[in-house]
A and B are shown apart, each in its own frame.
Chain A
C-alpha cells in the first residue's frame, strides 16, 4: 500500500503519470464546478439572499441530516448545472465560422489544463530526498512554462469572438486580447522581481516553482515583496478576466461578450475554463508569494513522511479555497472598470510601478553586493 502510494506520487512510469494526470484533472474540474457554486452562494450571502438550496438527487436526499445538509448547501447544484449544459440542444448558429467556432472553447480550456503539468502543490520527503507532489517532478522552467501556456487561453476568447461573426463577441474578444497584452508585462516584471531575490546566480534551481516555495520556508515573499505581490495579484485578476477587469464579457455593454453566440456545452466549457484559470492564477500567487504548502511563515514542517505531505497539500488547498473565495468576494464588491480605465491602469500605473519596483530591488542588490 505504502509502496503503491509512493509510486503513485513519485513514479515516472507512464501509467502512474497518466493516473496522476487524470486525478489532477478530475480535482481541478471539481474545484472549478464548486467555484461556480461558491460564486452563487457568496453572491447570495452578500446580497442578503440564500442561494441555491433546492437541488437534490432523490437517492441522496433520503440520507438523514447529510441529505438535508447537502441540499441546503446546494452541493448537487454543480452536477445539475453540468447536466443541463450537457443535455441542452447544442445549437450551431448559421452565421458563424463553424470550424473555429467549435475549436474556440477547446482552445480556451486546453491551456488551463496543460499548465497543470508543472503545478506543484505539496512536497514529499522520501528516503531523505525532497520530491514535489505534482504531475511531473517539476522542471527548472516551471514558471516560464506556466506563463507561456496559460496566456494561450486568450486565443480561445479571441477565436470565439472572431468566429462568432457578430459585433459584440468581436468587441469582447478584442478587449480580451488587448487586456492580456497590457497586463502580461507588469505581471512578468513583478515575477522577475521575486525570482531575482530567490534565484541568486550561485544557486542552480533557476525558475523552478518548487525551489521558490522552498526559499519561503522562512519569510514568505509577500513580506519582502509587497509591491510585486500587489501588482501580481491585480494582474491575475486581469488575466483571468475577473471583475473588476471583466472586459471580454462585460454583460452590461456587450450582451455576453465573447460567448454571446455560444450555448449549451460549449458555453459550459468556457465557464469551466474561466474557473480553471482562476485556480491556476491563485496557485501561482500562493506558490510565489504566500509560501506554497508552508502553514505559517517561519513555521517548521510538522510531522514527517505522509503526514507532512498531506498536511502540506491540505494547507495549499485551504489557501487555494481562500483565494477562490477572494475572487468571488471582490467580484461582488466593486463594479467593472471602463475599458479606457483598464488600459490606463495597465500601462500608466502597473507597468511603471513594476519597473520601478524591479529597479529598486536591482539597486538594493547592487549596493549590498
Chain B
C-alpha cells in the first residue's frame, strides 16, 4: 500500500495574527450568548425524574389500602449498610386482613446509612419496598434522617399492581375448604 504523505501546511499570515480566529471565537461565544440558558432554577423548578430512577426507598400499599410488607425481614438481612430495622408484629384476629401472615410493627430505614443500592427492592418477595423518585432527603437532626413506618408509607403511596396475592390465597383456601379437601 502506498504511503500518502500529508502536507503539513505552515500557518498563513492571517492565522499567525490570531485575528480571524479571535473573530471566529467571538462569533461562537455570541451564538452561545443568544441561546437560551440551560440552568434549572432549582428550588422553584424541579427536574423531571425518569421512571426507573432509584431514589429514597419507600413502602407501598396495594389497591385495597393494605400494607404489602409482611415483615419477612429479607430486606433487613440483605441490606449491605444495615440501614433497615424491622420490628415484626402480629395482625389481630378481627382485622380485615387477618389472612395475611404478619405485618411490621415498626419499619425504620436510616437514610444516613442507606446507599441506594436497591437490594431491598430486588429481594422483596411481596413487592412491598421500592426505590422511588424522591431524590432530595434532608434533615436537621440524625433522628429526622430515619424514616419510620408512617413516613415510608407516606412517601411510597399505592402500587396499582392488582396481584392481591393474599386475597387470592384466602379465596383458594375457602374454595378448597368448601369442596371438602
On whether the beta carbons of B28 and A50 are closer than 8 Å, the reply is: no
Query: Given A42-B33, A329-B29, A329-B30, does the pair A48, B22 have CB atoms closer than 8 Å?
Result: no
Query: Number of B residues whose C-beta is below 8 Å from A?
Result: 13
Task: Give the residues in chain A near B32, CB-CB below 8 Å.
Answer: 45-48
Name B17's closest neighbour in chain A (CB-CB): A349
Q: Roughly how many angstroms separate A329 CA and B23 CA in the complex, as a whole number?
A: 11
- Chain B's nearest CB lies how many Å from the CB of A335? 10
Would A45 and B25 count as touching, CB distance under 8 A?
no
Please state if A333 and B29 are interface contacts (CB–CB under 8 Å). yes
B96 within 8 A of A: no
Interface residues as binary, B35-49 with A (CB distance below 8 Å gives 1, 0 otherwise):
101110100000000
Q: How far is the CA of A49 from the CA of B22 in the complex (A)?
A: 23
- A152–B106 Cα distance when bound, in Å, is 75
Count of chain A residues with a beta carbon within 8 Å of a chain B beta carbon: 13
Total A-B pairs, Cβ < 8 A: 33
List residues of chain B with CB within 8 A of the CB of A329.
Answer: 26, 29-30
What 1/0 flags go to B1-43 for Cβ under 8 Å of A?
0000000000000000000001001101110110101110100
Residues from 45 to 60 in A contacting B, C-beta threshold 8 Å: 45-50
A63 at the interface (CB under 8 A from B): no
Knowing A333-B22, A334-B22, say if A48 contacts B29 (CB, 8 Å): no
Cβ–Cβ < 8 Å partners of B26 in chain A:
329-330, 333
Minimum Cβ distance to chain A for residue B32 (Å): 5
Nearest Cβ on chain A to B42's Cβ, whole angstroms: 11
Q: Which residues of B contact A49 (CB under 8 A)?
A: 37-39
- A47: B residues at CB distance < 8 A: 32
Please, what's the 1-or-0 string for B44-63, where 1 marks a CB less than 8 Å from any CB in chain A? 00000000000000000000
Q: CB distance B37 to A45 under 8 Å?
A: yes
Within 8 A of B (CB), among A13-59: 42, 44-50
Chain A 323-335 interface mask (CB, 8 Å, partner B; 1/0): 0000001101110
**With A49-B39, A329-B26 given, can you name 20 additional A-B contacts, CB distance below 8 Å?**
A42-B33, A44-B37, A45-B32, A45-B33, A45-B37, A46-B29, A48-B32, A48-B35, A48-B37, A48-B39, A50-B37, A50-B39, A50-B41, A329-B30, A330-B22, A330-B26, A332-B29, A333-B22, A333-B25, A333-B28
20 A-B pairs within 8 Å (CB atoms) are namely A42-B33, A45-B33, A46-B32, A47-B32, A48-B37, A48-B39, A49-B38, A50-B37, A50-B39, A50-B41, A329-B26, A329-B29, A329-B30, A330-B26, A332-B29, A333-B22, A333-B26, A333-B28, A334-B22, A334-B25
